């Protein structure tokens, strides 16, 4: 009879030791959750590094969940992503952007900064 190792970190140990699929996926969830917690407490210098780690973990997690999937599984994942992005866009455009406009922010100056940062990220291969 197999021993069920339970308790804090059990899924991480199972995943790193070649455990079952669910343990591996749960460990991924735990890593991303921990990174979000670290991000919230981090200073500005560490936030970019943590944001990159979050994106990398989510990309890897999405890839292993979709690997071997066919048809409706992939379609479901893409639909969930689409809904999350549409929610983000709606929230920005209907709530955040009007607040920023009314706050008198230098939108031309900020636009220049954002365009430069986009250029840097694009040229870095991100």
Residues 54 and 75 in one domain: no
Among residues 52, 67, 82, the one where a domain terminates is 67
Say which residues have a Cβ less than 8 Å from residue 65's Cβ, sequence separation at least 6. 25, 77
Question: Residue 11 pLDDT > 90, yes or no?
Answer: no
Give 9 or 30, the one with higher predicted confidence.
30
Give the per-residue pLDDT at 99: 94
Q: What are phi and psi of 74, to 5 degrees?
A: -65, -40
Domain that holds residue 119: 71-126
Residues 76 and 119 in one domain: yes
Q: How far apart are CA 67 and CA 4, in angstroms?
A: 27
Residues 76 and 92 in one domain: yes
Cα atoms in the Cβ-side hemisphere of radius 13 Å centred on 27 = 18
The predicted model gives 60-85 an average pLDDT of: 77
Residues 96 and 40 in one domain: no
| Domains identified in the chain, total number | 2
Residues 42 and 77 in one domain: no
**Mean pLDDT value across the chain:** 82
Give the per-residue pLDDT at 80: 85
Among residues 25, 42, 67, the one where a domain terminates is 67
Q: Sorting pLDDT into bands at 50, 70 and 90, what band is 16? A: low
Residues 52 and 77 in one domain: no
Summarize pLDDT for 85-112 with one digit per residue, the tens.
899 999 999 999 999 999 999 999 999 9
Give 4 or 49, the one with higher predicted confidence.
49
């Amino acid at each position: 009879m197999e021993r069920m190792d339970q308790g804090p970190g059990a899924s991480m140990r199972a995943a790193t030791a070649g455990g079952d699929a669910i343990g591996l996926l749960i460990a991924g969830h735990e890593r991303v959750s921990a990174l979000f917690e670290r991000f919230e407490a981090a200073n500005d210098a560490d936030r970019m590094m943590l944001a990159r780690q979050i994106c990398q973990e989510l990309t890897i997690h999405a890839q292993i969940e979709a690997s071997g999937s066919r048809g409706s599984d992939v379609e479901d994942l893409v639909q969930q992503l689409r809904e999350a992005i549409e929610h983000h866009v709606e929230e920005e455009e209907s709530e955040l952007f009007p607040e920023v406009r009314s706050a008198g922010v230098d939108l031309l100056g900020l636009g220049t900064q954002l365009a430069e940062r986009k250029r840097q990220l694009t040229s870095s291969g991100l």
